[in-house]
Amino acid sequence: MLRSLSVFLAVAALLLPTDLRADYIKSRIPSLQPDRVIVYKKIADRELELRVFLPEGWKAGDRRPCFHIIHGGGWGGMDPSRMYPFAADFARRHGMVGISVQYRLYQPGIATVFDCVKDARSSVRYVRAHAGELGIDPAKIVVSGGSAGGHLAASTAVFDAVNEETDDLAVSCRPDVMILLFPVIDTSAEGYGQAKIGERWRELSPLHHVRAGLPPTLTFHGTGDTVTPFAGAKAFHEAMLAAGNKSALDVNEGGKHGYLMFEESLYEDTLTKAAAFLTQQKILPHPQAPPP
In the chain, what are the domains? 34-280 (3.40.50.1820)
Q: How far is CA 99 from the centre of its chain?
A: 10
Contacts of 217 (CB under 8 A, 6+ apart): 177, 178, 179, 180, 240, 245, 246, 247, 248
The pLDDT score that the predictor gives to residue 34 is: 98
The pLDDT score that the predictor gives to residue 10 is: 37
Contact 153, 180 (CB under 8 A): yes
H helices present in 78-189, as ranges:
84-94, 113-129, 131-134, 148-158
Q: What are phi and psi of 258, to 5 degrees?
A: 80, 15
Compute and round to an integer the Cα radius of gyration of the chain: 19
The pLDDT score that the predictor gives to residue 287 is: 65
Residues of the chain short of pLDDT 70, as ranges, are 1-21, 287-292
d(CA 146, CA 30): 20
pLDDT single digits (tens) 88-119: 999 999 999 999 999 999 999 999 999 999 99
